[in-house]
Amino acid sequence: MSDHVFISGPASWNQIVYLDHLPEPRPHMQFATSHVETIGGTSAGKALNLAAAAVPVVLHTILGTDDAGERVGSRLEAVGVELIAERRGTTERHLNLMTPAGERVSLYLDTADASGEIDPRVEASLASASAAVLDLSERSRALLPTAVRSGVEIWTDLHDYDGASEFHAPFAQAAARIFLNADGTDDHRALMRRLVANGATTVVCTLGAEGAVALDADGWHEVRATPVEVVDTNGAGDAFFAGFLVATLRGAAIDEALSAASVSAAGALTTHHLHPSLA
């Protein structure tokens, strides 16, 4: 395995508010059952899980010069994530409303400023990586040509891709390994076939409590969700992605990687944080 996994994408500071049910669209008062503040962001979640699996990981992200940025950066570094952090403006912050059923409404309180120059360390980190994870963000989209030129295998997480979004399209075209969930499409298998036909070597679709399905040159593969008492669904998809990536880097075949991913996702479901190491 090469030196490290390179990840580019969001890291944020989140306030998570737990409710019995999501608010109705009318003026009213509602009591929270509990609340917590913690690290958020899909790329931070992947990086945390890789570091916990003893895989060297470099996270390229944008953090503000505020207290939230200091909290995010220091906690990621404390668990072994190497940061290439562009520091300016305010840190991305979300307010997530969550229900026991896993329903979520994410309110973006602040967003990252992606207008600056890309840190010159990024290209070198990409070139020496065993894999490059480019998560959905303006900064990652700008890095796609550099990643393609480097020859590193590109992984991406399209989340609720509908098969038509113009923003998602460059990620889908550049990546060899594509992950998504079924929320944005009525026929996830048809979408997966199209992504493979367009050049992806592996496409994985997570299905929540129903597990996940993958498609590669050998055909279809399925895995059941690992049974667990769910505390919070935030970050489960990122833990699944990271578990699959770790197993693949260590030589696992696709079915074994899916099983490892399912176990990894279950771990994230048992905590209010993106990974138990933050508890």
- Mean pLDDT rounded to a whole number for the chain: 94
Which domains are delineated in the chain? 4-278 (3.40.1190.20)
Predicted confidence at residue 128, as pLDDT, reads 93
Residues in Cβ contact with 260 at an 8 Å cutoff, skipping those fewer than 6 apart: 243, 244, 246, 247, 252
Q: For residue 37, give Cα distances in angstroms to 17, 22, 43.
A: 9, 19, 17
Mean pLDDT of 235-249: 96
Q: Which residues of 102-113 are buried (b: 16+ CB within 10 A; e: fewer)?
A: eeeeeeebbbbe
Q: For residue 81, give Cα distances in angstroms to 12, 51, 72, 101.
A: 15, 6, 11, 31
Mean pLDDT of 83-101: 94
Predicted confidence at residue 2, as pLDDT, reads 56
Per-residue pLDDT tens over the stretch 247-278: 999 999 999 999 999 999 999 888 888 888 87
The span from the CA of 131 to the CA of 126, in Å, is 8
Q: Is residue 1 predicted with pLDDT exceeding 60?
A: no
Q: Is residue 119 predicted with pLDDT exceeding 80?
A: yes
Mean pLDDT of 52-78: 96
The span from the CA of 65 to the CA of 156, in Å, is 28
* 195, 178 Cβ separation under 8 angstroms: yes
Between 230 and 78, where is the model more confident? Answer: 78
Predicted confidence at residue 116, as pLDDT, reads 81
Tokens coding 238: 């990122």
* DSSP 8-state secondary structure symbol assigned to residue 67: H
Per-residue pLDDT tens over the stretch 154-177: 999 999 999 999 999 999 999 999
Beta bridge partners of 181: 206
